[in-house]
Amino acid sequence: MFPQGRHPAPGQPFKFSVLEICDRIKEEFQFLQAQYHSLKLECEKLVSEKTEMQRHYVMYYEMSYGLNIEMHKQAEIVKRLSAICAQIVPFLTQEHQQQVLQAVERAKQVTMAELNSIVGVSDRPSWSCSSGF
């Protein structure tokens, strides 16, 4: 922090002139000013990073909330469709009842691989109703 060569050798008395003391104070002030500027820039950078992180947090929170609502909505749709199927199945012929019940059981046993393939297919712009979904 202090320039070398300005300190007296051991055993020598201090002989600083007013000009030397002023220069030393000026150097210290410039050093502290540079440190202040560096810390201020770092603080501004951290504030902008914090703001960006908060923005991402809000975005992810909103996405999570939306997905949670969508999941509950889909669960309610499944519940209602299951109730409709349960009401309609008794009116079908025995053969059709078996087919519907087997199809419902297959639908209940969906695997993660099947879900991933469905998600992969639905992300493509060429997906259409004719693909079987």
pLDDT tens digits for range 97-112 = 999 999 999 988 989 8
Token digits of residue 112: 């993660």
Residue 87, CA atoms < 13 Å, CB-side half-sphere: 6
| Per-residue pLDDT tens over the stretch 30-78 | 999 999 999 999 999 999 999 999 999 999 999 999 999 999 999 999 9
Q: What is the rounded CA–CA span in Å between residue 118 and residue 64?
A: 21
Question: How much of the chain, in percent, has pLDDT values that exceed 90?
Answer: 65
Q: Is the pLDDT of residue 131 over 90?
A: no
CA dihedral 53, 57, 58, 63 (to 10 degrees): 140
| C-beta atoms surrounding 90 within 10 Å | 7
Is pLDDT at 1 greater than 70 in this prediction? no
Average pLDDT score over residue span 120-128: 56
Which amino acid, one-letter code, is at 53?
Answer: M
What's the predicted TM-score (pTM) here? 0.54
